[in-house]
Structure 1
Amino acid sequence: MTERISPLQFHQAEGVEDWRVLFSGACAHFRAASFAAGVALVGAIGGLAGAAGRQPDVDLRPSGVTVCLPPVGFGGQSVGDVDLARQISAAARGLGLIADPAGVQAVQISIDALVAEEVMPFWRAVLGYEQVGDEDLLDPRRRGPALWFQRMGAARPQRNRIHVDVSVPHDQAEARVAAAIAAGGRLVSDRNAPEFWTLADAEGNEVDMATWMGRE
């Protein structure tokens, strides 16, 4: 089913405890005792996703498998994603893989631009990325971070023009923020929390730590 649901509605559904909604969609990470077990789960995901008419992003590593069901349209998941997530979790359990929700995140680089149309072609060419919509560049192989071009009304010379966005599980965000501060960072702003916190390193380079909260 392609009916859209919000991140909150997805998380409120039963049977999706292994999953977290990020910028990149509804994602889960399953730790594997062996590479062969991970391969077996990838095969199971292929069959389940094919039957559901979905094309998830699947990352296989010796330590486990990460799977993301990309957002539908301009955000949110589909009703069918709930069923598919449940099925994938059941397949993982059957193969002995253990869900680790803390193992998922999505990283995006944000560039402030006065005229995005003039700078996007450069970044598209230098990275070999593809343009999606008016503001985003994506790695067609889904290996590198996405680029988002944030339009400015006027130059802000007192701030960085490039920062990193890190999308983390909503129940991991505050711990990640605390760890960053303990590691020498500082909190720039929490006025948008729990949607996102703005942090900076010791030299002022900024990062937004973001969740799905606030975008119900």
Structure 2
Amino acid sequence: MTDLISAKQFRDAPGVEDWRTIFGGGWACAYFRTGSFAAGVELVRAIGEVAAAANHHPDVDLRPEGVSVKLYTADFGGLSDQDVAVAQQISAAAAALGAPADPSAVQHVQVAIDALVSAEVQPFWVAVLGYGSFGETDVLDPLRRGPTFWFQQMDAPRPQRNRFHIDVYLPHDQIEARLAAALAAGGRIVSDAHAPGWWTLADAEGNEVDLAVWE
């Protein structure tokens, strides 16, 4: 059985400066700017060779501008030493191909739904999204493409407040810049009681979003 490591243990390892732990430390993600689709294909080929040799397979998203890579040992909430080793080798391959990492492009988006009785609400979202349940509070895309859905327990109805909000999970060194950008774009801070773990912001009409690190 593979032993899991914490987000901090991953970050403290040498050779993973390109990578950011995200969503509670469950994933290690990197985005490499390749500048062309052809260069991206070369990087994906190199990643494939690393993954095959290690028998440890990341999620890889190839776009004309770059390549996103997500490493994990458990589908939801787990990193291991194996992720560290594969991350080191992928970074070396990207450097050899002249594809720099851009940590500002790493994030994860989650939709949070307030529910009085989650068991009555969650099955609808599993069905309508084609997702799968993970535990009692989370609904996940089995292909890890779309946002996750989280059902937040309510004790009483909130008729004057939105029942949905968005969680944006960011790397620890990117959240301050995003917070500043959101405020400059007309947002306001609703609560910073849990900072630096997360800030609750709202747009001009009161629609809420949490900017979160959760590490």
* TM class by smaller structure: over 0.9
Instruction: Tell which deviates more after alignment, 138-147 or 184-193.
Output: 138-147
What does 1:193-208 correspond to in 2, within 5 Å?
193-208=195-210
Report the equivalent of 2:128. 126
What does 1:41-120 correspond to in 2, within 5 Å?
41-70=43-72, 72=74, 75-120=77-122
Check conservation: 2:72, 2:80, Cα contact below 8 A.
Answer: no
Report the equivalent of 1:8. 8
Counterpart-to-counterpart distance in 1, 2:100 and 2:5: 27
Q: 1:71–1:201: structure 2 CA closer, same or farther, 3 Å change rule?
A: farther
1:93 counterpart letter in structure 2: A
Q: 1:192–1:43: structure 2 CA closer, same or farther, 3 Å change rule?
A: same
Check conservation: 1:28, 1:101, Cα contact below 8 A.
Answer: yes
Counterpart-to-counterpart distance in 2, 1:71 and 1:189: 34
Counterpart-to-counterpart distance in 2, 1:151 and 1:52: 41
Check conservation: 2:16, 2:84, Cα contact below 8 A.
Answer: yes
Counterpart-to-counterpart distance in 2, 1:66 and 1:118: 36
- In the TM superposition, what whole-angstrom CA distance separates every residue of 1:24-72 from its partner, at most 9, and x where no partner exists? 6100000002211111111221222233232311111000000011363
Shift of 1:124: 1.4
Report the equivalent of 2:20. 20
Counterpart-to-counterpart distance in 1, 2:123 and 2:31: 34
Shift of 1:141: 3.0
Counterpart-to-counterpart distance in 1, 2:44 and 2:214: 26
Number of positions where the alignment pairs a residue of Structure 1 with one of Structure 2: 213
Counterpart-to-counterpart distance in 1, 2:75 and 2:36: 36
Q: Does 1:160 align with 2:162?
A: yes
Counterpart-to-counterpart distance in 2, 1:25 and 1:71: 8
Report the equivalent of 1:142. 144
Counterpart-to-counterpart distance in 2, 1:47 and 1:133: 34
1:22 counterpart letter in structure 2: I
Instruction: Tell which deviates more after alignment, 69-78 or 189-198.
Output: 69-78
Counterpart-to-counterpart distance in 1, 2:163 and 2:109: 17
Shift of 1:102: 0.8
Identity of aligned residues (%): 65
Structure 1, unpaired ranges of 5+:
none
Alignment RMSD: 1.7
Report the equivalent of 1:38. 40
Structure 2, unpaired ranges of 5+:
none
What is the DSSP-based 3-state SS (H/G/I as helix, E as strand, rest coil) of the residue aligned with 2:123? helix
TM-score with structure 1 setting the length: 0.92
2:22 counterpart letter in structure 1: L
Structure 1 segments of 4+ aligned residues over 6 angstroms from their partners = none
Check conservation: 2:31, 2:66, Cα contact below 8 A.
Answer: yes
Shift of 1:92: 0.7
